[in-house]
């Protein structure tokens, strides 16, 4: 595959007034102008409310046991008694056991297929000695009420996995797929609070020439946004308008932050696996004269500022910061990959209002670098990147 330039990846175009008649949208009466945008397949994935498929590593399970007869009797009595006297009957917690494999999850990400297969064969041969497998084999299915899988992400965070079937089938599932990647269905790519799951998007299939129409208008007292498919029909509605603004901020990062673009470029070229994108409006780097962001490193010397003016600038940098973080795990020729994190630190021009009068030249210089979008007027304050060995 020919490597694509990181400059190829994009999210959303600037808006333009639409000359298309959208009044035919069923049940929608549009008031005012309609703005139209082009959105890439990458952006469409992030906005789409449809479920996404990802894989997680199965590392164990939770075994819930059937309560003792005495506990079941207590529960039945409680149902008969009024709620105000429920405190009289003390119920013990439902007995359960967490079975987490003690084997190290090193997730070897290797480029060479034969070496990857070799690791898998070693992994398979060690399964019979795993403490979780041995414990499950000794359990009596008749004493178990349920079994829930436990999965682990690359970053080490864990989540439960619902398993279908009877108890015996659930035990067999854990035995067969322990330390393997299993399919997990998420409700959508957008998890919550600015966090997007990116493992469901195939970066290697990204085509910069593929675009979809998206419109924004005012109806029923609020802003509405919808995305069309390639046939010109409505594909999905963007119910959370904040996601629309996220796309503009992400586009700005891709245009101005080379390090950030390069991280996504690694995924496009198959050199890394994507993890997540996180938008943080409450981000704060406590800058100082000795620790200036990239955008201001040469500014103080160039404008020959007084110490009190420098302090005023530094104070303004601590307000209205906005970060966009992308992390992925790189592939290596052998062994573990590294978790690569790239952060674009954006700064709202509004934060510079206090220095506008005392340092008009500095303000004008920064203002020219700002990107104007419907999310606001921001400029790239800093670019932070780093990596850590995944263990």
Q: Quick one: pLDDT at residue 7?
A: 53
- Window from 28-42, 342-356, 372-386 with minimum mean pLDDT: 28-42
Confidence of residue 387 (pLDDT cuts 50, 70, 90): confident
Q: Is 11 helix (H, G, I), strand (E, B) or coil?
A: coil
Per-residue pLDDT of 312-352, as tens digits, reads 999 999 999 999 999 999 876 544 578 889 999 999 999 99
Residue 341 vs residue 82, higher pLDDT: 341
Q: Quick one: pLDDT at residue 297?
A: 80
HSE-CB at 219 with a 13 A cutoff on CA atoms is 17
Q: Quick one: pLDDT at residue 333?
A: 52
User: Hey, CA dihedral for 162, 167, 171, 173, is it positive or negative?
Assistant: negative
Q: At CA 375, angle to CA 239 and CA 224, rounded to 5?
A: 25
Q: Quick one: pLDDT at residue 76?
A: 67
Q: For the chain, give the number of residues.
A: 391
Q: Quick one: pLDDT at residue 58?
A: 93
The candidate with the shortest Cα–Cα distance to 198, out of 384, 341, 5, 345, is 341
Q: Quick one: pLDDT at residue 303?
A: 73
Mean pLDDT within 352-380: 91
Q: Where are the domains of the chain?
A: 6-13+30-51+188-389, 54-186
Decide if pLDDT at 6 tops 50: no
* 254 touches 11 (CB < 8 A): yes
Which segments within the chain are labelled E, that is strand?
16-17, 31-40, 52-65, 96-100, 144-152, 158-161, 181-186, 190-192, 195-197, 211-219, 222-228, 234-237, 272-280, 321-330, 338-348, 371-373, 376-389
Per-chain mean pLDDT for the chain: 85
What whole-number distance in Å separates Cα of residue 278 and Cα of residue 292? 23
> Cβ neighbours of residue 135 under 8 Å, at least 6 residues apart?
99
Which segments within 8-51 are labelled E, that is strand?
16-17, 31-40
Per-residue pLDDT of 118-174, as tens digits, reads 555 556 655 666 888 888 989 999 999 999 999 988 767 888 999 999 999 999 999
Q: Quick one: pLDDT at residue 266?
A: 92
- DSSP state, 94? P
Q: Quick one: pLDDT at residue 154?
A: 74
The candidate with the shortest Cα–Cα distance to 65, out of 89, 93, 90, is 93
What whole-number distance in Å separates Cα of residue 255 and Cα of residue 371? 10
Q: For residue 263, what are the β-bridge partners? A: none
> Cβ neighbours of residue 116 under 8 Å, at least 6 residues apart?
108, 110
* 12 touches 251 (CB < 8 A): yes
Decide if pLDDT at 365 tops 80: yes
End-to-end CA distance of the chain: 30
Per-residue pLDDT of 216-271, as tens digits, reads 998 888 899 999 998 888 899 999 999 999 999 999 999 999 999 999 999 999 89
Mean pLDDT within 5-15: 81
Output the pTM of the full model. Answer: 0.81
What whole-number distance in Å separates Cα of residue 223 and Cα of residue 241? 7
Residue 156 vs residue 11, higher pLDDT: 11
* 189 touches 205 (CB < 8 A): no
């Amino acid at each position: 595959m020919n490597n694509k330039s990181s400059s190829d990846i994009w999210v959303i175009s600037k808006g333009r007034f639409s000359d298309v008649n959208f009044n035919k949208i069923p049940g929608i009466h549009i008031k005012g102008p309609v703005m139209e945008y082009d959105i890439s397949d990458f952006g469409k994935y992030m906005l789409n409310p449809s479920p996404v498929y990802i894989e997680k590593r199965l590392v164990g399970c939770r075994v819930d046991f059937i309560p003792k007869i005495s506990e079941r009797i207590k529960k039945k009595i409680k149902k008969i008694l009024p709620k105000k006297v429920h405190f009289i009957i003390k119920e013990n917690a439902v007995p359960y056991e967490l079975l987490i494999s003690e084997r190290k999850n090193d997730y070897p990400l290797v480029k060479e297929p034969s070496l990857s297969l070799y690791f898998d064969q070693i992994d398979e041969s060690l399964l019979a000695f795993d403490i979780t497998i041995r414990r499950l084999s000794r359990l009596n299915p008749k004493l178990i009420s349920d079994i829930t899988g436990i999965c682990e992400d690359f970053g080490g965070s864990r989540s439960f996995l619902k398993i279908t079937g009877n108890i015996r089938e659930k035990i067999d599932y854990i035995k067969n797929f322990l330390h393997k990647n299993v399919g997990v269905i998420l409700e959508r790519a957008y998890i919550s609070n600015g966090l997007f799951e990116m493992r469901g998007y195939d970066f290697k299939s990204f085509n910069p020439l593929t675009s979809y129409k998206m419109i924004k208008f005012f109806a029923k007292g609020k802003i509405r946004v919808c995305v069309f498919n390639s046939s010109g029909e409505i594909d999905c509605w963007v119910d959370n308008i904040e996601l629309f603004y996220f796309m503009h901020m992400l586009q700005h990062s891709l245009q101005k932050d080379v390090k950030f673009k390069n991280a996504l470029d690694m995924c496009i070229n198959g050199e890394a696996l994507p993890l997540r994108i996180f938008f943080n409006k409450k981000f704060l780097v406590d800058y100082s004269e000795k620790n200036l962001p990239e955008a201001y490193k040469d500014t103080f010397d160039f404008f020959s500022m007084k110490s009190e003016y420098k302090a005023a600038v530094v104070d303004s940098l601590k307000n209205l910061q906005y970060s966009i973080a992308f992390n992925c795990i790189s592939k290596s020729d052998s062994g573990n990959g590294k978790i690569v994190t790239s952060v674009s630190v954006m700064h709202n021009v509004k934060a510079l209002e206090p220095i506008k009068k005392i340092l008009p030249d500095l303000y004008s210089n920064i203002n020219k670098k700002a990107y104007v979008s419907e999310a606001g007027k921001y400029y790239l304050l800093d670019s932070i990147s780093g990596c850590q060995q995944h263990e």
